[in-house]
């Protein structure tokens, strides 16, 4: 059943997206575009702003059931929580001061926590929300202390002024980098600090999972890029250790995803593996790694929400996320299986998707940093491919489950969102030189 009041969202959101493209396109060639003292934007900021708008449209279009529940209960609806989270993320991506970045980085947790606690499906949502809050807030405290130290030392928390001051001051030791970027590593999340992410995905409603995977994980990626640039980070033994831990953690995430029996859990651990790719590409401190990481950030931000939407559609058919109760979709919903195939192929890096180009660039950059790192990188690629194949095979092949109740057709909302996302992922390679 369609939700007619959502129709007015497509026009304004797409118009806003076009205005952003026209506004930023003129300054895409410059490294930074300072519109006013509060704004600091470059091509990566613009890309993340576009991603916020796209994921917001997708999450609102696919969350009709939760929107109806929210309107019945009264108060702030789930659509308002989505928009508030997107607004905080939007400000984070172009704010020009470190204290402002930290404020919006932490402020985005508040509506996300409210989303999990109020619209979560399971009784364990309280522990999942508290786990997310403690992980992310606790790990970002060293970054807050470092920002305060920068303000006292350089009498400013502006990103550009701190960059210029850091270029003349080499007093920041390599080990300080670890504690400074710890909050961003948790938000990635890096394996070992990832315990909050599968819990949050499993307990969150569909739109919450889409916002979390598509936008909130990119806050950690974007903050890491900014911090590395500001602190003039270079490849060192400390960086090699973090990269090794992240890549081997990606291998473990692939194993866990392959053995998981929950569709949402499989997609969540697959996200951890892909973010390990981004971590390795960025921390090798090479231009190819940075560009590949930016490609992966955008591609993952579009593909992962669509996979969660597909898992939620399977839940609507069977009332279960178990892989044993979601089988045989190919026989009763061929069009639905087509979209499973399209986004799973993009997730494992099939050309010409953006994921393919990003993986090639990041593997090349990691190889240049250290040949030994190719071992975990190759294993992680292999495990991600196997887990993606399992993710497609479990719900689509096999005999039709007795608990699976097919719908007459795929919802128009899902169909439009999936088509738009597929075009975005598979055709964006035509404009990859935007990041160079």
Q: Are the C-beta atoms of 110 and 80 separated by less than 8 Å?
A: no
> How far, in Å, CA of 310 to CA of 339, rounded?
8
**Under a CB-based contact definition with an 8 Å cutoff, are residues 186 and 136 in contact?**
yes
Q: What is the C-alpha to C-alpha distance for residues 398 and 381, in angstroms, rounded to an integer?
A: 26
Model confidence pLDDT, tens digit, residues 155-204 = 888 888 888 777 666 666 677 788 888 889 998 888 888 888 888 888 88
Task: Tell me: do 159 and 290 sit in the same domain.
Answer: no
Same domain, 197 and 329: no
**Whose CA is closest to 188, among 213, 210, 159?**
213
Which of 100-104, 118-122, 309-313 is predicted with the least confidence, judged by mean pLDDT?
118-122
Q: Are 40 and 25 in contact (CB under 8 A)?
A: no
pLDDT value of residue 407: 57
Final residue belonging to a domain, choices 184, 215, 232: 232
**Does position 14 have pLDDT exceeding 70, yes or no?**
no
Over residues 52-74, the mean pLDDT reads 71
Whether 216 and 282 map to the same domain: the answer is no
Which of 27-31, 65-69, 86-90, 307-311 comes out lowest in average pLDDT?
27-31
Average pLDDT over residues 42-58: 86
In the three-class reduction of DSSP (H, G, I as helix; E, B as strand; rest coil), residue 41 is classed as strand
Count the neighbouring beta carbons within 10 Å of the beta carbon of residue 149. Answer: 13
Residue 27 falls within a domain, yes or no? no
Interatomic CA distance for residues 338 and 335, integer angstroms: 5
What gap in Å lies between CA 392 and CA 341, rounded to an integer? Answer: 7
Residues 158 and 56 occupy one common structural domain: yes
Residues 216 and 238 in one domain: no
Does 365 lie in the same domain as 428? yes
Residues 336 and 412 in one domain: yes
How does DSSP assign 337-372, residue by residue?
Answer: HHHHHHHHHHHTT-TTSHHHHHHHHHHHHHHHH-GG
Percentages (nearest 5) of helix, strand, coil residues in the chain = 75, 0, 20
What is residue 219's predicted lDDT score, i.e. its pLDDT?
A: 92
| pLDDT tier, 436 (very low <50, low <70, confident <90, very high otherwise) | low
| pLDDT band per the 50, 70, 90 thresholds, residue 341 | very high
pTM of the complete model: 0.88
Q: What is the mean pLDDT of the chain?
A: 80
**DSSP code, position 322:** B
Residue 343 pLDDT more than 90? yes
How confident is the model over 269-284, as pLDDT tens digits? 988 888 888 998 898 8
Cis peptide bond prior to 62, omega within 30° of 0:
no
Going by pLDDT thresholds of 50, 70 and 90, the confidence category of residue 304 is very high
227-258 pLDDT, tens digit each? 888 888 877 788 888 888 999 999 999 899 88
Please, where are the H alpha helices in 6-140?
7-25, 43-61, 64-73, 78-94, 98-107, 109-119, 125-139
* Structural domain boundaries enclosing 381: 234-436
Cis bond upstream, residue 189 (ω within 30): yes
Q: Tell me, yes or no, whether 132 lies in a domain.
A: yes
Q: pLDDT by residue (tens digit) across 352-378?
A: 889 998 999 999 998 888 888 889 988
The pLDDT, as a whole number, for residue 409 is 56
Same structural domain, 99 and 173 = yes
Same domain, 124 and 194: yes
Answer whether residue 321 shows pLDDT above 90.
no
CA gap 331, 333 in Å, rounded = 6
Number of domains in the chain: 2
209 within some domain: yes
User: What pLDDT shows up at residue 1?
Assistant: 36
Assess whether pLDDT exceeds 90 at residue 303.
Answer: yes
Domain shared by 120 and 38, yes or no:
yes
Structure confidence at residue 404 (pLDDT): 64
On whether both 258 and 214 belong to a single domain, the answer is no
Same domain, yes or no: 188 and 39 = yes
More confident residue, 424 or 35: 424
Residue 103: which pLDDT band, with cuts at 50, 70 and 90?
A: very high
């Amino acid at each position: 059943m369609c939700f007619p009041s959502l129709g007015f969202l497509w026009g304004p959101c797409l118009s806003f997206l076009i205005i952003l493209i026209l506004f930023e396109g003129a300054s895409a060639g410059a490294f930074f575009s300072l519109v006013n003292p509060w704004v600091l934007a470059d091509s990566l900021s613009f890309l993340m702003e576009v991603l916020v708008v796209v994921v917001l449209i997708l999450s609102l279009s696919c969350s009709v059931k939760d929107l109806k529940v929210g309107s019945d209960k009264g108060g702030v609806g789930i659509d308002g929580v989505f928009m508030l989270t997107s607004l905080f993320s939007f400000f984070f991506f172009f704010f020009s001061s470190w204290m402002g970045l930290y404020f919006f980085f932490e402020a985005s947790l508040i509506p996300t926590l409210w989303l999990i606690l109020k619209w979560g499906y399971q009784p364990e949502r309280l522990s999942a929300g508290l786990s997310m809050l403690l992980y992310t807030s606790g790990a970002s405290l060293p970054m807050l202390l470092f920002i305060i130290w920068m303000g006292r030392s350089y009498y400013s928390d502006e990103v550009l002024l701190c960059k210029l001051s850091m270029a003349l001051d080499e007093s920041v030791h390599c080990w300080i980098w670890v504690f400074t970027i710890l909050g961003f590593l948790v938000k990635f999340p890096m394996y070992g600090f990832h315990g909050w992410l599968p819990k949050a995905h499993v307990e969150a409603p569909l739109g919450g999972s889409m916002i979390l995977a598509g936008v909130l994980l990119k806050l950690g990626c974007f903050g890491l890029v900014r911090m590395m640039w500001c602190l003039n980070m270079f490849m060192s033994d400390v960086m090699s250790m973090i990269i090794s831990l992240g890549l081997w953690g990606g291998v473990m995430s692939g194993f866990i995803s392959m053995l998981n029996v929950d569709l949402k859990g499989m997609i969540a651990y697959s996200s951890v593996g892909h973010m390990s790719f981004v971590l390795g590409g960025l921390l090798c401190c090479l231009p190819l790694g940075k560009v590949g990481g930016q490609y992966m950030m955008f591609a993952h931000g579009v593909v992962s929400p669509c996979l969660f939407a597909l898992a939620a559609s399977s839940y609507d058919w069977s009332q279960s996320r178990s892989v044993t109760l979601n089988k045989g979709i190919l026989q009763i919903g061929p069009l639905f299986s087509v979209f499973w195939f399209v986004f799973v192929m993009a997730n494992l890096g099939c050309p010409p998707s953006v994921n393919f180009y990003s993986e090639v660039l990041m593997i090349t950059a990691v190889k240049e940093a250290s040949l030994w790192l190719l071992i975990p990188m190759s294993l992680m690629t292999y495990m991600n491919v196997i887990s993606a194949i399992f993710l497609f095979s479990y719900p689509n092949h096999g005999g039709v489950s007795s608990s699976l109740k097919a719908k007459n057709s795929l919802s128009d909302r899902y169909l439009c969102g999936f088509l738009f996302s597929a075009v975005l992922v598979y055709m964006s390679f035509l404009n990859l030189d935007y990041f160079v």
